[in-house]
Every structure is written in C-alpha cells, then in structure tokens.
Amino acid sequence: MTIKEQLIHEIEQSPDIVIEEVFDFLLLAKLKYHRQQEQSKPFGSFIQELVSDIPPDILATLPTDGSEQHDHYIYGTPKREL
C-alpha cells in the first residue's frame, strides 16, 4: 500500500475535525514546498525577473558602480577614487 493509499485509508476513518486539520497542514506543506522550489532558482534569473518590469530608459540612468561606491549612494559620502 502506497503512502497516498494509507493516507486516504486514514482519512476515511477519521472524524471531520481531524480531516480539517490535516487539510490545513497539507495546504501549508504544499505552500512551503513551492516556496522552496522558487528559491532554488539561480540568483541571476531572480534578478532578471526583478528588473524585467523596469523600462530600459530608467535602467540606463542607474549607476554602474553601485557596489564599488555604495557609501556614496547610500549615505551621500564623496565618491572614492578607484
């Protein structure tokens, strides 16, 4: 007997209140599983999805030295010479 068949057998013998709790747990477990699957995609793909809605003319105005000059962009300090 498979796990699925065992689960169905147990459900058929359980009171409704237990079935409701099992159903809630199943939905939560499925949500957790799907979130884990989404999080396992490569970081580059995640970034591409994130910026895909930003118009190209706006993207062109963003700094290209953000990681090197992060203090300047975050805190307004003078740019460092590299």
Tokens (6 digits) for 56: 């190209």
Tell me which residue of 29, 10, 32 sits closest to 2, measured CA to CA. Answer: 10
* Predicted model pTM: 0.43
pLDDT tens, the chain, 82 aa long? 899 999 999 999 999 999 999 999 999 999 998 888 777 778 888 888 888 999 989 988 888 887 888 898 899 999 988 7
The C-alpha atoms of residue 24 and residue 32 are separated, in whole angstroms, by 12
The C-alpha atoms of residue 4 and residue 55 are separated, in whole angstroms, by 48
